[in-house]
């Protein structure tokens, strides 16, 4: 029986990255759909859940991607609403690599230093990766702040994560690197989640910070997000802080993403969202 993965992407142009990892994770065939939303996903889910016998259903799986976290969350909810009794297939949510990248970064931070009770700042945390990283850090017991160039965007990201994860997050406006340096006062944990090619903070702005214990960066496109952190760093000591670069965590992200795709085909009842993907990351970190 062929392993079929249906890639459901809210964006008009679906992610090639997600297709490649779909195959590398073990799917025999990846069928890609763009422009998918809660109103048009129903027939696709019906096709996935009504076609194969109970024992064979595990060979069909769904993947929800796209660049927008809220659209991905809403699409996953709409997919799950169509499931009933054993008429279901396994599904994974990873909008813009949000869950896998955030899980890899937070799992490595947790390996580097204890997180419980620490103050964590997610710089430029309004994108999919930053939002999920903030939620996972809060679930690890951190007091988490999300920064954005616009306060309303940080507040919106906090609200979205609070609603989904029942965690309390703080929003701070930080327009430039000086504001972001100020936002790091008293923080022990830093997670850089800015857009590709954007330096969020220079090395001089963090190297003498007396409280920072560990930092992770996700941006692998020069200039990197955290100045002075090499993209290959993987829990490397720099200026007395343990740092993780974008490829340092990206290797784990890719390994886990593939492992999660493989896991989808083990049974027909799994929902791989942030918590489940984070469990895989912690086991593999
Ligand atoms: N290492 C890996 O394996 C891996 C995997 C996936 C993604 N990534 C990387 O992870 C990072 C986060 O991904 P994402 O999809 O969540 O990012 P994103 O949505 O593209 O951007 C995140 C935030 O960056 C801020 N930003 C954009 N331009 C900026 C500028 N010029 N100055 C300051 N802030 C700016 C924006 O926040 P505000 O507008 O609210 O300020 C935006 O919401 C990206 O760099 C991505 O390439 C890495």
- List, for residues 242-257, the tens digit of each pLDDT value: 999 999 999 999 999 9
Ligand 1 mean position, distance from CA 185 (Å)? 22
CA 113, chain centre distance (Å): 20
pTM for the model stands at 0.97
Q: How far from chain centre, in Å, is Cα 264? A: 18
Question: CA 138 to CA 215: how far, in whole Å?
Answer: 16
Nearest protein Cα to ligand 1, atom 40: 148
Ligand 1: residue whose CA is nearest its atom 3: 250
Percentage of the chain lying above the pLDDT 70 cut: 100
What local confidence, expressed as pLDDT, does residue 97 receive? 96
Give the residue carrying structure tokens 């899980």. Answer: 103
**Ligand 1 pocket by C-beta < 6 Å: which residues?**
96-97, 101, 124, 126-130, 148-150, 153, 193-196, 198, 218-220, 246, 249-250, 253
Structure confidence at residue 124 as a pLDDT band (50, 70, 90) = very high
3-state secondary structure 181-248: HHHCCCCCEEEECCCCCCCCECHHHHHCCCCCCEEEECCCCCCCCECCCCCCCEEEEECCEEEECHHH
Whole-number average pLDDT of the chain: 98
Mention every residue, 6+ apart, whose C-beta is less than 8 A from residue 108: 216, 234, 235, 244, 248, 249, 252, 285
What is the atom index within ligand 1 of the atom nearest the CA of 219?
45
Q: Which residues contact 67 (CB under 8 A, 6 or more apart)?
A: 10, 11, 15, 95, 96, 128
> Mean per-residue pLDDT for 194-214?
98
């Amino acid at each position: 029986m062929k392993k079929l993965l249906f890639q459901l992407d809210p964006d008009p142009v679906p992610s090639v990255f997600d297709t490649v990892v779909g195959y590398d994770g073990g799917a025999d065939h990846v069928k890609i759909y763009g422009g998918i939303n809660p109103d048009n996903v129903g027939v696709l889910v019906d096709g996935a859940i009504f076609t194969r016998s109970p024992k064979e259903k595990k060979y069909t799986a769904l993947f929800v991607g796209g660049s927008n976290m809220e659209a991905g969350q809403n699409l996953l909810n709409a997919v799950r609403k169509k499931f009933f009794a054993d008429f279901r297939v396994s599904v994974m949510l990873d909008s813009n690599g949000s869950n896998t990248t955030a899980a890899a970064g937070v799992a490595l931070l947790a390996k580097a230093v204890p997180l419980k009770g620490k103050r964590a700042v997610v710089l430029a945390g309004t994108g999919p990766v930053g939002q999920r990283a903030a939620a996972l850090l809060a679930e690890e017991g951190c007091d988490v702040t999300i920064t954005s160039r616009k306060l309303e965007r940080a507040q919106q990201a906090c609200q979205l994560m609070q609603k989904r994860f029942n965690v309390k997050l703080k929003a701070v406006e930080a327009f430039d690197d000086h504001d972001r340096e100020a936002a790091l006062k008293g923080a022990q944990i830093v997670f850089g989640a800015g857009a590709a090619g954007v330096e969020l903070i220079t090395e001089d702005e963090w190297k003498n910070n007396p409280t920072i214990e560990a930092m992770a960066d996700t941006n692998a496109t020069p200039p990197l997000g955290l100045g002075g952190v090499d993209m290959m760093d993987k829990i490397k000591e720099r200026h007395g802080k343990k740092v993780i670069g974008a490829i340092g965590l990206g290797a784990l992200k890719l390994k886990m993403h593939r492992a999660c795709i493989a896991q989808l085909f083990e049974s027909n009842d799994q929902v791989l969202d942030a918590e489940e993907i984070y469990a895989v990351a912690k086991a593999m970190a």
